[in-house]
Amino acid sequence: MDTEVKNGFSTITSDTHSVRLLSVLLVVGACCASSLSAGDQSAERNVAGVVTRIDGSELPGACVFARAAGAGASAGNMGCTETDEHGGFTMRLRPGEYIIRAKDEAEAYPDPNFLLSADPSAKFPQVIVGQSDISGVRVTLGAKGGVLEGKVQDETTRLPIVGAKITISDARAPGAYVEVFSNKDGGFQFTVPAKPVLISATAMGYEKRRAEEVALSGGQHRRIEIDLRPR
């Protein structure tokens, strides 16, 4: 592996032996391409690593993302690579700079792509994909949150409300929020981070339900019912 390590703090392991390195940035090969645009598929390189819990145990079945992390504004889409039984993953990436993150919502590890889920205890390394494959990327998930399940229904008829918007926001930072829309049964589900969140709901033809604070952690499950009053 042709790897240079720059300053930082994450742990990187190679295929043959574990080496604890102070690093957050891997520079591989002849450095990066300037654009992440689609191009030659053959330019893709393998980026391999492992996802662990905060206690160091490997996490199978986690979903690993690579998001562009260059300096400029970016947009696009990310696929999810699932970890194997040992928490290992290999993804194919085009040249460029990425931040590698992971989630396991079934295990109450929330989606790190949402600002709401920001967790300083998580370690999501940055990598620069160049001309060589990368191995030894170590992704450490932060604290377990909780799984919030709910149902939105008409206060009067008790019938489910389809397409109701449930807003879940950081109780301390309201700019960090997600919008979840109820399904055909009025149901919704979301894995919340281990911090207090505010939950409010609204639907067309109904009064807005004011925010209620909920705090889940350690993999707790909570089921709530939200009654909306017709206007």
Interface residues with other proteins (CB under 8 A) are 34-38, 41, 63, 65, 67-80, 92-94, 96, 99, 103, 105-106, 111-118, 124, 175-185, 187-191
CB of 16 to other proteins, least distance (A): 28
Tokens, residue 109:
């590890």
b/e map of 190-201 (b: 16 or more CB within 10 Å)? bbbbbbebbbbb
105 three-class SS: helix
- Give the amino acid at 57: S
CB of 60 to other proteins, least distance (A): 15
CB of 56 to other proteins, least distance (A): 23
In 3D space, the residue among 37, 29, 103, 44 whose CA is nearest the CA of residue 70 turns out to be: 37
In the complex with other proteins, which residue's Cβ is closer, 39 or 156?
39
In the complex with other proteins, which residue's Cβ is closer, 89 or 124?
124
In the complex with other proteins, which residue's Cβ is closer, 16 or 41?
41
| Residue 142, number of CB atoms within 10 A of its CB | 20
Tokens, residue 3:
């790897």
In the complex with other proteins, which residue's Cβ is closer, 30 or 80?
80
